[in-house]
Amino acid sequence: MARAVWVRSALSVAAAAAALVITACAGPSAGPPAPPAPAVSLAPKVIEQASAYRAYMARSAAISPAFSDGAAVSGALRAAAAYEPRQLVQGAVAYGAIAALQDPAYVAGVRTFSRDVTQRQSIAQAIIRNPAYALSFPGAPTAAGLVTTALGEDGRRVFEQGKQVKQAAYSVQHFSWSKADVANRDIRLAQAKSLSTMPLSGDVAESFRLQQAAGGGAPLGVVATQPAAPPYSPLVVRSLALAALAVLGEAGEANLAQLTSVMSEPVAGSCLNMSKLNLYQCLAVSKPHYEDVFCMGQHILMDTGMCVLKGAGAPAPLNVLTSPLTVASATPVSTAAPIASPTSGIRKP
């Protein structure tokens, strides 16, 4: 009996010794596994801003220059004027960020720093303080190329459509209805101003598509021919910054206040505000319907398209001799002051 106890004790000691040897061979404990990187995502409100931007740009690019009567002109004018400049800029940055997230190299470059909670929060704060910090990640040039392509295509489509609408200010003069004065001109001007303060709404299907694209679930369909070379426009920089925050897991609903500051770009906003001022001045002196067609083509569609093109750092259309934005004074002019008609000279000789 004593011998059995001794054997069992000896085996226990041997087992313990073996365990120590195995532990020693295994080296120091690795500790708990590193947490996974957060999922790439943008807050639903940011997705909605991108969707609203896309809805406006698509609607404006679809305005037909084949006007049949004054009612058609009035309806198109209301649709084209219905955007608030600050929101449109924020939507453009949001859409640009989704385009940047299509670049695997950029996403991978940012994700390298996303596993450690303290590190990623520190980097996120650095980006919020200075969005240009996002340019330091690998893949930034190719991501910037995607942003420039995505926003540049939108701006170019609206600009080119504006050229056709502006040309229609000449062609519709073959019809007597176009020479009749617009009824309730003051109300029409006030309505254009009111529509310029109302928030845009996005399309549900487009919002879903953009959400999928932001999370890597479906391609956005934007293809850049080559990386963009620096320096980058402020709109592109802020798009990359927002994309980086999405990869870091710092672009959720809880971060909306900070995201809004990243999405607010004053240069493009100033351009769009000037476009609106030129529109109001144009409508203030416009009388017949064909002059409203001119105001819409030039100061809503062409000017807005050019603002987006310039904001994206995309080249201006080759057939533009002078930017339509150069007609704007550096100092805003009150619409109540007497001004020369912006539509003078559009009548055919």
User: DSSP secondary structure string, 79-117?
Assistant: HHH---HHHHHHHHHHHHHHHHTT-HHHHHHHHTTSSSH
Amino acid at 225: T
- Whether the CB-CB separation of 222 and 150 falls below 8 Å is answered with yes
> What per-residue confidence (pLDDT) applies to 215?
87
Residue 202 in tokens: 């996005």
pLDDT for residue 320:
58
Residue 63 lies in a domain: yes
Backbone angles phi, psi at 343, to 5 degrees: -95, 0
Burial class, 5, CB count within 10 angstroms (exposed 0-12 / middle 13-18 / buried 19+): exposed
- Among 122, 169, 148, CA closest to 239: 148
CA dihedral sign, ordered 222, 223, 227, 230: negative
The tokens describing 43, both together, are 């807050």
Neighbours of 3 (CB within 10 A): 7
* Residue 160, in any domain of the structure: yes
In a domain, 24, yes or no: no
Asked if residue 99 is part of any domain, the answer here is yes
Please state whether the predicted TM-score (pTM) of the whole model is above 0.85: no
Residue 124 lies in a domain: yes
CB environment 183-202: b (16+ within 10 A), e (fewer): eeeeebbebbeebbeeebeb
Has residue 115 been placed in a domain?
yes
Rounded to 5 degrees, φ, ψ at 64 are -85, 140
DSSP three-state, residue 225: coil
Q: What's the CA gap between 94 and 88, in Å, rounded?
A: 10
> What sign results for the dihedral spanned by CA atoms 212, 214, 218, 221?
positive
pLDDT at 8: 42
The first and second tokens of residue 349, run together, are: 């000789």
Question: Per residue in 284-322, is it b (16+ CB within 10 Å) or e — as a string?
Answer: bbbebbbbbbbbbbbbbbbbbbbbbbbbbbbeeeeeeee
Q: What is the pLDDT of residue 88?
A: 97
What pLDDT score does 11 carry? 37
Number of domains in the chain: 1
Tens of pLDDT along the chain (349 residues) come to 444 433 344 334 344 434 433 344 444 445 556 667 788 889 999 999 999 999 999 999 999 999 999 999 999 999 999 999 999 999 999 999 999 999 999 999 999 988 888 898 999 999 999 999 999 999 999 999 999 999 999 999 999 999 999 999 999 999 999 999 999 999 999 999 999 999 989 889 999 999 999 988 778 888 766 788 889 999 999 999 999 999 999 999 999 999 999 999 999 999 999 999 999 999 999 999 999 999 999 999 999 999 999 999 998 886 654 444 333 322 222 222 222 333 444 544 3
- Range of 135's domain? 44-326
Partnered with residue 96 across adjacent β-strands are none
Type of residue found at 161: Q
Residue type, 217: G
Rounded Cα distance between 85 and 276, Å, is 8
Give, rounded to a whole angstrom, the gap between the first and last alpha carbons of the chain: 126
Is 333 within the bounds of a domain?
Answer: no
Tokens of 225: 């021919």
What three-state secondary structure class fits 16? Answer: helix
Residue 336 lies in a domain: no
